[in-house]
Structure 1
Amino acid sequence: MQLTHLGHAAVLVEAAGARILIDPGNFSTAWHGLTGLDAVLVTHHHPDHIDPERIAALLAANADAVVAVEASVIDAVDLGGRARALVPGDEFDVAGVHVAAVGGQHAIIHRDIPRIANTGLVLSADGEPTFFHPGDALDTIVAGVDVVAVPIMGPWAALKEHIDFLRELGAPEGFPIHEGLLSERGWALAYSRYNAMTPTQVHDLRDGRPWTPAH
């Protein structure tokens, strides 16, 4: 498995010969122009996870890609009728990669802001690590995760919650995502705390290069 962090929530997963893009949002541009994708997956409808202005071009450039999105995305964004709705408990295969939908709700931003749905994604393949992209939630713990994408900062997040999430999940490796609102100092502080206070070895993938997990 190779994982490439393409900025903020966007992650390219390459495993079992498949290329799967998760959460191509408008806080990042490195995913623009990608081709050869077998699937495009989206955890929820916030624009930093699916860019409503650029998604049509991505799908047009990947006409054969499976498009699977948290169910409310279909009403929020024009996907040309191509998308299947994802709800927790759904499972399907894409070119040798098994995708499982987990979770249910976005983390609470404020009690006065209605919660929306959020579908975490667990990707696995024979002989490959199991990868977990939680979207914007830290309340679902998945057994057997080898690598986790940690949403390092959001208006709904606190450092103590991330540390407890990583401790309970127990993934051997991970990397920060969702960094679009962080300064360099803020990123470094959280990164150092994750590595010092959790069982997860957290890697810096901000250079946009493909990374192969050890586990």
Structure 2
Amino acid sequence: MQITHFGHSCVLIETSGQRVLVDPGDFSTSWHDVIDLDAVLVTHQHADHADPVWLPKLLDANPDAVVAVEQTVPEIVELPTRTLRLGPDERIDLGGLHVETIGGQHAVIHRDYPRIGNVGFVFRAEGEASVLHPGDSLDATAEGIDIALIPAFGPWAATKETIEFARATAAPQGFLIHDGLLNERGWNLVAKHVQALSDTKLIDVRDTRPWQV
């Protein structure tokens, strides 16, 4: 397995002969020219996870890729007719890679904002590490996760919740995502607390070089 963090919440997972891009949003640009994708997945409709300008261009450049998104994303972003709309507790099979959806709702930003949909993705393939990408939710996890992608910071999160998510996931390894609003000191502070108060070993993958698992 190989994982590349393209910034913020955008991640390329390469495993079991599949290349899957998750959450290509407008907080990062290094994913714009990615080709030869087998699937593009989106956890929810916010632009930092589904760039309304560049995501359609990416899909035009990857016409054979499976497109599967949380069910309200097509209301915000212009997507091709082949797009699959996902709710929680569904499964997509991409060759030997199986993707399950969990959760269903975005974390609370403020009680005066209505909550929107959010599905986390669990990736499993025989003989490979399992991976959890939660999108913008800290209240849903899955059993037997080997690699957790842990949201570091957002207007809907506190560090204590990030730590509890890492503890609940109980993955031996992981790395921080949703870090586009953090400077170097902020990133190091969150990483320090997660390392100190959970059993997950954090890998620094911010340089967009592929991480071999």
Q: TM-score range by the shorter chain?
A: over 0.9
| 1:89 pairs with 2:89 | yes
- Separation in 2 of the partners of 1:209 and 1:182? 20
8 Å CA contact 1:39–1:67 kept in 2: the answer is yes
Return the letter of the residue paired with 2:168: E
3-state SS, counterpart of residue 209 of structure 1: coil
Partner residue, 2:20: 20
- Separation in 2 of the partners of 1:64 and 1:95? 14
Partner residue, 2:138: 138
Return the letter of the residue paired with 1:209: R
Partner residue, 1:47: 47
**Residues 74-121 of structure 1 deviation map (CA, whole Å, 9 limit, x = unaligned):** 211110222100111110211321000110100000001111000000
- Separation in 2 of the partners of 1:141 and 1:44? 16
Return the letter of the residue paired with 2:33: G
| 1:124 pairs with 2:124 | yes
- Separation in 2 of the partners of 1:207 and 1:21? 17
- Separation in 2 of the partners of 1:162 and 1:15? 27
8 Å CA contact 2:102–2:141 kept in 1: the answer is no
1:171 is displaced (CA, Å) by: 0.5
**Residues 147-205 of structure 1 deviation map (CA, whole Å, 9 limit, x = unaligned):** 01111000000000011111121100000011111111111000111111101001110
Aligned length: 213
1:17 is displaced (CA, Å) by: 1.0
Partner residue, 2:181: 181
Q: Within 5 Å, which residues of 2 pair with 1:1-215?
A: 1-213=1-213
- Percent identical among aligned pairs is 53
- Separation in 1 of the partners of 2:168 and 2:19? 29
- Separation in 2 of the partners of 1:156 and 1:187? 17
- Separation in 2 of the partners of 1:45 and 1:82? 18
Normalising by the residue count of structure 2, what TM-score does the alignment of the two structures yield? 0.98
Query: Alpha carbon RMSD of aligned pairs, Å?
Result: 0.7
- 5+ unaligned residues in a row in structure 2: which ranges? none
8 Å CA contact 1:152–1:187 kept in 2: the answer is yes
Normalising by the residue count of structure 1, what TM-score does the alignment of the two structures yield? 0.97
**Residues 2-29 of structure 1 deviation map (CA, whole Å, 9 limit, x = unaligned):** 1110000100000011100000000000
**Residues 20-69 of structure 1 deviation map (CA, whole Å, 9 limit, x = unaligned):** 00000000001011100000000000000000001111001101000000
- Separation in 2 of the partners of 1:77 and 1:3? 26
Return the letter of the residue paired with 2:180: G
- 5+ unaligned residues in a row in structure 1: which ranges? none
- Separation in 2 of the partners of 1:152 and 1:212? 22
Return the letter of the residue paired with 1:42: V
4+ residue runs over 6 A deviation: none
Return the letter of the residue paired with 2:57: A
Return the letter of the residue paired with 2:152: I
